C-alpha cells in the first residue's frame, strides 16, 4: 500500500512540476525570439527530472539552463528560422499541378520539410545532453534522425499530436509543451544509452 501511495505521490509531484515548467516555458517564449533558449531550458529541466539530478527548484534550474544555453540556442534559432522561412515560401510558391518539373520540385521539397522536422526534434535533447558546439548539435541531430527511423517517426507523431492538440484547443499550450518534451527526451535518453552501450562494447 505504501509503495502504491509513493508511486501516486511521485506521479502527482511530476505532473505539478511539469505544469510549472510549462508555465515558465510559455512566459519566457512570449518574445518569440527567445523560443529556442526557453525550449532548451525546458528540455534541460526535464533531463534533470528523468535522470533524478534535481538539486534546485524548477525556477532556479530553468533560469540557470536558460542563461547557460542562451548563446548556442539563439544561434541555432537564427539558422533554423532562415531555413524554415525558405522551406515555407518555396512550399507556398510551387504548384505541383502546373508541370512535371514543379511536381518533382514539390516532392523534393516535401522530403526536405520532413527531414528538417526530423532534425528539429533531436536538436534540444542533444543540446542539453551533450556538451557540443552548435555545429555538432546540428550534425548529430541530422545523423540521429537517420540512424533510428522508427524513433524519429514516433517522435514526429508525439510532436505532431501535441501541435494538433494546440491548434484545435489553444488552451492546451499551458500543459502540452512540457509533457511532450518529457516524452521526447525520455525516448531520446533510451536511445542515447543504447548508443553508449554499443560504443562501450566495441
pLDDT digits (tens, 9 = 90+) for 115-162: 999 999 999 999 999 989 999 999 999 999 999 999 999 999 999 999
Helices (H), 148-172: 149-168
Instruction: Work out the average pLDDT over 19-36.
Output: 93
Cα(127)–Cα(44) distance, integer angstroms: 9
C-alpha cell at 94: 510551387
- Chain segment 67-87, per-residue pLDDT in tens: 999 999 999 999 999 999 999
- Chain segment 45-66, per-residue pLDDT in tens: 999 988 887 778 899 999 999 9
Any residues with CB less than 8 A from the CB of 55 and at least 6 apart, and which?
none
C-alpha cell at 46: 526535464
User: For the chain, what percent of residues have pLDDT higher than 90?
Assistant: 66
**Nearest residue to 94 via CA among 85, 103, 86:** 103
Give CA 186 to chain center in angstroms.
11
The whole-model pTM stands at: 0.90
Amino acid at each position: 500500500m505504501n509503495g502504491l501511495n509513493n508511486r501516486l505521490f511521485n506521479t502527482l509531484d511530476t505532473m505539478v512540476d511539469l505544469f510549472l515548467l510549462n508555465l515558465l516555458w510559455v512566459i519566457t517564449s512570449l518574445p518569440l525570439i527567445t523560443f529556442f533558449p526557453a525550449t532548451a531550458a525546458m528540455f534541460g529541466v526535464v533531463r534533470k527530472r528523468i535522470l533524478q539530478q534535481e538539486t534546485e527548484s524548477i525556477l532556479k534550474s530553468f533560469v540557470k539552463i536558460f542563461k547557460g544555453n542562451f548563446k548556442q540556442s539563439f544561434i541555432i534559432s537564427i539558422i533554423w528560422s532562415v531555413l524554415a522561412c525558405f522551406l515555407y515560401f518555396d512550399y507556398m510558391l510551387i504548384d505541383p499541378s502546373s508541370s512535371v518539373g514543379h511536381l518533382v520540385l514539390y516532392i523534393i521539397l516535401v522530403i526536405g520539410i520532413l527531414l528538417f522536422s526530423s532534425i528539429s526534434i533531436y536538436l534540444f535533447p542533444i543540446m542539453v545532453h551533450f556538451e557540443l558546439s552548435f555545429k555538432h548539435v546540428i550534425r548529430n541531430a541530422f545523423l540521429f534522425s537517420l540512424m533510428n527511423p522508427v524513433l524519429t517517426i514516433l517522435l514526429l507523431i508525439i510532436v505532431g499530436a501535441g501541435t494538433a492538440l494546440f491548434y484545435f484547443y489553444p488552451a492546451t499550450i499551458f500543459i502540452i509543451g512540457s509533457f511532450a518534451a518529457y516524452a521526447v527526451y525520455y525516448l531520446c535518453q533510451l536511445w542515447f544509452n543504447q548508443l553508449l552501450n554499443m560504443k562501450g562494447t566495441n
